[in-house]
A = this chain, B = another copy of it.
């Protein structure tokens, strides 16, 4: 699962992407329209600005904006910035690889082999979608109607 913080970060970035080129966007504007606790958002935005993907200015008419054009930021990047990796297990990360504790040897680990495949299809998708891309929305109900052959 993505943490609440990561989800907030993604929505905040989408908001800034939508308003890219329109000057500084005040935190309150993001917080209110995206339904994010304002003070928590300051923590998130300051984290994002340390990575250079958000810029800011203080004082009257200040605010935040993308430090990089939205076409140059993928959803994969965002998740990596916020949680370090796209993978489901530390040993299946291609960039932030870490050996798992209390595991069998990596070369013998079937879980790792499988999770590497999962990471790759996930990355294939998320690294292909940019903050500037339109995303086809899905009606709320459809998430509940699983096809017959799908369990969850």
Question: Which A residues contact B (CB, under 8 angstroms)?
Answer: 1-2, 4, 7-8, 10-11, 14, 34-37, 75-77, 80, 83, 85-97, 100-118, 121-127, 129, 135-140, 143-144, 146, 150-152
Contacts and interface: CB of A to CB of B under 8 A. Distances in A.
A94 to B, nearest CB: 4
Contact of A11 (B104, B106, B144): B104
A101 B103 CA distance: 35
B7 A94 contact: no
A83 to B, nearest CB: 8
B126 A94 contact: no
Given A76-B152, A93-B143, 17 more contacts: A1-B83, A1-B87, A1-B90, A7-B103, A35-B102, A85-B152, A92-B143, A93-B152, A94-B146, A94-B150, A95-B152, A116-B138, A118-B126, A121-B122, A121-B125, A123-B150, A127-B151
